[in-house]
Amino acid sequence: MANFLKLNKSYLGPEVLSNGSFEEYGPDLVINGDFATDSNWTVAAGSGWTISNGKASNDGSNGNLQQSSILDIGKVYLITITVSDYVSGNVQVSAGAGPRGTVTANGTYTFTQTAQNNSSFYLVSSAFVGSVESVSVQESGAVELVDNGQFIGVANGTDVTFVSSQWTFSSLTSSDIESNILECIASGPNEFAYLQVPTVVGGEYRFKVDSVTGDLASDSVRVQGESVDVTSGSGELVFTATNSPTIIQFYAGDTFSAAQTNYTGISLQSTNQLAYDYLAVGSGQHSVFDFQAKTLRFVAESLSGRSVQAVGSTSVGEEYLIKIDVAEIVGSAPFVYWNGSFIQVNVEVGENEIRYKRVAGSNGLYFGIQAQDSSQIGSSITLNSISWQEVVNQPKLIGVDNVSMVSAPTDNTVVINNGLTDGADELTITYAGASASSRVQMRNFFQDSIIRLANSNNTAEVLEITPPVLITDIVAS
């Protein structure tokens, strides 16, 4: 019997990480958004909508054209609509039942909306005579943190504390919702409605209130105790979260006397918008997505790790290959990835590969930067892209008796001469050159293994080895 070398031929399986190129928006969620067929859209009877000739047209009736259950409540979407053949009225786009974007002329328009109250997308005709040539809805990485800050679907007379669990209490004489507006009425000093919004300590956020009417003051709203000036009829504040949750107080007037102040459109979002399918984890400003350059930059602001979570998962016991295209490195803090704990890797500008075997622990895909000491604080790593694929191993037996020579003629091949594999005189093993350090390394790796096996007294022995490379082909000739 011959001695055999059992070699694991490795190849790459499908991508397990979503959006490795850091696109700001995800794919179009609307089906048949170009109206190529009369399908996928719900057309209510009497709504005036018809679909034909690559357009959705309306005859001036009031009604909806919709696709149900394609959105996630609280997520932010980019809506693009192209209108033609406009005559009169208007057509509106709406993510859920939230505020609408209105179009009153031919052209292409974009709107950014947060899905509110339900997960459907609507085209709404208000006496619209004209056509919609196309419409698309793409998810962004931004997330609205205030639950129903537009008060959509809230019955008149409902106290704000019943809108969502984020409104914990109100000391106001009245804090009712009327026509999607929070009416704060105080009969004396220091009366307010109390909103708690989940935030990450150290993260930067933007608070906004779209419309403020009634008694206006420079301190009618307070975020973490900091006043928001709403005397212009709206208000905005960029701040760093020092606690979690963040506390927002809504007063009436100047907080000292009987007054009424009305609030519409309350919003709190991270200033660092993530690409779609990414989540921030840990503390601080985890990452900076540059959507124009399509890059992701990690900054080691402290000794705490900075990372993001990508959509996807891994399995215990399986091997994975991470490919990282690094655009820029500042300082010396290492790149880290998750394998039950954060593993440190020193990467270089350009293409990098990390091959590992998943151990126990969370199956999530986490990666970022980690300063090891104070000298590395301020370091950054900027990525052009990242790929995360399973390495699949397929065993193959190679006869090794009478091997006369093992050579590595190129940077990605090893040739075994006079092997007894199916009577072949020569066996060529091709591998991914970037996964090996040198030709000599690969020649010695196979040669030493074959010699050990050929010298064995047990001719029935099969020696199983897993090379430290990705083998792309094995050819006998």
Residue 176 has what pLDDT?
98
Domain count, the chain: 4
Residue 354 has what pLDDT?
92
Same domain, 375 and 408: no
In this structure, what CATH number is given to the domain that contains residue 73? 2.60.120.260
The answer to whether residue 19 sits within a structural domain is no
Find, among 185, 168, 176, the residue nearest to 220 by Cα: 185
Same domain, 299 and 331: yes
The answer to whether residue 16 sits within a structural domain is no
Residue 145 has what pLDDT?
93
Distance CA 54, CA 38 (A): 9
Same domain, 441 and 359: no
**Total residue count of the chain as it appears in this document:** 477
Of the CA atoms within 13 Å of residue 250, those in its CB half-sphere come to 35
**Domain endpoint, select from 347, 371, 392:** 392
Distance CA 187, CA 117 (A): 32
Same domain, 226 and 318: no
**Domain endpoint, select from 270, 293, 327:** 270
H/E stretch holding 448 reads helix 439-454
* Pairing mode, strands 288-290 and 342-345: unpaired
pLDDT in tens, 279-291: 877 655 567 899 8
Distance CA 236, CA 218 (A): 12
Residue 465 has what pLDDT?
64
Same domain, 29 and 135: yes
Distance CA 53, CA 367 (A): 48
Same domain, 289 and 205: no
Same domain, 164 and 264: yes
Burial tier of 208 (Cβ tally within 10 Å: 0-12, 13-18, 19+): middle
The helix/strand/coil state of 104 is coil
The answer to whether residue 17 sits within a structural domain is no
Same domain, 388 and 406: no
Same domain, 320 and 368: yes
Q: Which domain holds residue 207?
A: 158-270
The helix/strand/coil state of 355 is strand
The answer to whether residue 468 sits within a structural domain is yes
Q: Do 100 and 81 contact (CB within 8 A), yes or no?
A: no
Same domain, 46 and 66: yes
The answer to whether residue 152 sits within a structural domain is no
Same domain, 254 and 307: no
Positions in the chain whose pLDDT score sits under 50: 421-423
* Residue 201: count of CB within 10 angstroms of its CB: 12
Residue 435 has what pLDDT?
63
**Domain endpoint, select from 355, 371, 392:** 392
Distance CA 151, CA 282 (A): 31
Residue 462 has what pLDDT?
74
Same domain, 120 and 33: yes
Residue 306 has what pLDDT?
84
The pTM assigned to this predicted structure is 0.75
Residue 433 has what pLDDT?
66
The residues that bridge with 212 in the sheet, in sequence order, are 263
